[in-house]
Structure 1
């Protein structure tokens, strides 16, 4: 360590949330979670306007999420070799242009193509925003930054459906114009982000060989499994079938369903904002294990709630689990990954949670077809308990 680094460490540090670099990272994260939740409220009116069968509307989500599943490892390799900004800035510009264009077309096939392009722009954003935190922070400040970033993302996922729904009352295409904000954010990243970039002078074959060896680490694999499991439970039991239970059991209107769905994001914001403090007391592996216990508890009690507002109990427990678990997984991945392979590791993780998003509704759909709505939540309980033990075996035992 040179004298300049020593002086910098001795200087008082701003709170993480006041640093410009961190604020730019949060802006990237807010764009990363914009593409689905802001436009789904417009789907019913879109189907009527474009004369589309409702069962085909899911293609608008699939076209958007597919690139992240396919391109994850490639994005990581490129970001580790040529730099983060050289990937993030063009991605934001593409997201903004293709996304805004979606609001200007009136042909469904062209809309699907533009959603695919927008998805290509979105693909690097979530994993590379986390990579930037890994680049910029270490130790307790890294965990604090991960927690704050998760809180900000949750604010986005909680508010975008409301914003999109309000805009959709003016016309189905208005929510699709929101991505235009990604273009100025791309310029802010280009001009304002001060991030240590990789040198990019390594032999590609050697790089890929070493990266493959690192990815064989059983602790990393355990974290990848836990990351995918988070999204199996979130997108399978919660996003897809929890609204169905509310409607079938309590005959609640859409506005009430929206409030209950948003309560999870509120719980995530509260718990993840305290992650820095909790990390000083509990190891990250313990927090991840606790998260799966909370998932199992929350899903187990859902079928027994006597009235609709009692559902706030399991949604709050589930949200606390997400607020503790997901940022802790990201932090541990950043801690375990060698600096020169950080983007690759986190992008592979992005592929795993894309896999979870895809498999979750399928797995829970099978459970629903076999045993009805309650079986979805009992399957979720069993799955959460299974992942608890798998994760514990892979990360907390020698071998």
Structure 2
């Protein structure tokens, strides 16, 4: 593997740490800090809010100044703020550091995808987006297991995992070297072209699908799946004849989801070659809906894990496909901004989702959270199937 790809893949895997390491630990953090179930969701919202506020500027800076000049400082901020989260005893300060960590995280996923777009084109680009999502899924496997294991010892330790961003920053500062495809437009022309492109119906439909995807994933699954398992299973769970702490099972459930994401994304190029964007995206959202319905309808561990794997199937198809779709729609020299739009929309979904689902939780209970997510996915199936992406 060349040094550029290794640097990109390290950033991609790290981009999952901010949420996936913390998700299995949310119930324990809530108990330690004596906060309510609804307030637990603020730990996700504070992080994603930091990414949302900065994201509109990420694409412009990356396209005009350069990917590397933005990436390295972002990695340092992510690592330092995450470490500080683990040092605080105040819920208010914890939210502050989570917000700053989100600011650092805002560029990571966008830039790793943009750099792939710089290096590859055509069918190779879709294939490498799939490979990148597979690497992403490695982070989604490792970080939940790590978070679930570390929280057994202390709720602080999952936050401190983020410090690994610092050696990744050093590596990219030294070894990341390639010709970046920057824009020659001045800032005013660039913004005019970008805003004009937003009138493209295909861009708006892609944004809708992305927003829907992450309202479901950020709001229902990432925020409340651990709470669902906590409320439905005892502190020690017998799994395959082995007695395991519930926190470790929570991490395993997330890792099972992530393994499925990686397996599907690795074959994304071949899947797209056979079925195309419409059928792939429609099936992905249908999978989301079925998995969320199954999740809320059972308290049997086997079916809970099956639902996690089914969600991974849908996400492995949807997330990299939507990234590839945005690069396909992007005018020349504006790839980073279109990928930033992709990132901004899904961060908005991750920010709004926990708040929306917390309202559902308070009004109707935990099972209703997953039922609402299942229903939200259904209109997206129709949009994905009927949109004319190639026009």
> What band does the TM-score fall into relative to the shorter chain?
0.7 to 0.9
* SS of residue in 1 equivalent to 2:17: coil
- Larger C-alpha radius of gyration, 1 or 2? 1
Distance 1:289 1:69, change over 3 A: same
The CA distance in 2 between the partners of 1:148 and 1:230, in whole Å, is 20
1:91 maps to which residue?
74
- Counterpart of 1:80? 63
Q: Secondary structure at the match of 1:294?
A: helix
1:132–1:195 contact (8 Å) kept in structure 2: no
| Structure 1 contact 288–326 (Cα < 8 Å) conserved | no
Q: Which residue of 2 aligns with 1:63?
A: 46
In structure 2, how many angstroms separate the alpha carbons of the residues matched to 1:286 and 1:117? 39
5 Å-filtered alignment, 1:1-399, equals 18-40=1-23, 53-54=35-36, 56-106=39-89, 108-199=91-182, 201-248=184-231, 253-305=246-298, 307-368=300-361, 372-396=365-389
- Deviation, 1:127, is 1.4
The answer to whether the 8 A contact 2:151-2:247 is kept is no
Q: Is 1:83–1:200's contact at 8 Å kept on the other side of the alignment?
A: no
1:347 CA drift (Å): 0.8
Q: Per-residue deviation at 1:28?
A: 0.7
Q: Provide closer, same or farther for how the CA distance between residues 305 and 40 of structure 1 changes in structure 2, counting only shifts above 3 A.
A: closer
Tell me which stretches of 4 or more aligned residues in structure 1 moved more than 6 Å. Answer: none
The count of residues paired between Structure 1 and Structure 2 equals: 380
Deviates more, 1:158-167 or 1:65-74: 158-167
Equivalent residue, structure 1, for 2:243: none
CA contact (8 A) 1:154 1:265 kept: yes
Q: 2:128 is paired with a residue of what secondary structure?
A: helix
Instruction: Provide the rounded CA distance (Å) in 2 between the counterparts of 1:44 and 1:241.
Output: 9
- CA-to-aligned-CA distance 1:306-330 (integer Å, 9 cap, x gap): 8321333332222111111111111
**Residues in 2 aligned to 1:42 and 1:375: alpha-carbon distance in whole angstroms:** 22
CA-to-aligned-CA distance 1:199-245 (integer Å, 9 cap, x gap) = 45422111111111112211111111111111112123323444455
Moved more, 92-101 or 195-204: 195-204
Return closer, same or farther for 1:171/1:230 CA change in 2, 3 Å cut-off. same
Measured after TM superposition, the shift of residue 75 of structure 1 is 1.0
CA distance in 2 between counterparts of 1:39 and 1:304 reads: 25
CA distance in 2, matches of 1:110, 1:361: 20
Alpha-carbon distance between aligned partners in 2 of 1:243 and 1:126, rounded to the nearest angstrom? 24
CA distance in structure 2 between the aligned counterparts of 1:151 and 1:87, rounded to whole angstroms: 24
- C-alpha spacing 1:319/1:217, structure 2 compared with 1 (3 Å): same
- Equivalent position SS for 2:18: coil
User: Given the superposition, is the C-alpha separation of residues 358 and 311 from structure 1 closer, same or farther in structure 2, using an over 3 Å criterion?
Assistant: same
Deviations 1:104-130 (A, max 9, x none): 455554444333322211111111111
1:16-35, CA deviations, whole angstroms, 9 ceiling, x for partnerless residues?
xx333222111111221112
Relative to structure 1, is the Cα distance of residues 43 and 250 closer, same or farther in structure 2, using a 3 angstrom cutoff? closer
Cα deviation for residue 246 of structure 1 reads 4.2
Whether the 8 Å contact between 1:29 and 1:129 is mirrored in structure 2 is yes
Question: Conserved in 2, the CA contact under 8 Å of 1:250 and 1:307?
Answer: no
Return 5+ residue gaps in structure 1 as ranges.
Answer: 1-17
Deviations 1:135-171 (A, max 9, x none): 1111222112111211222221222132234334444
Q: Distance in 2 between matches of 1:257 and 1:359?
A: 24
RMSD of the TM alignment (CA)? 2.8
Q: Distance in 1 between matches of 2:43 and 2:180?
A: 35
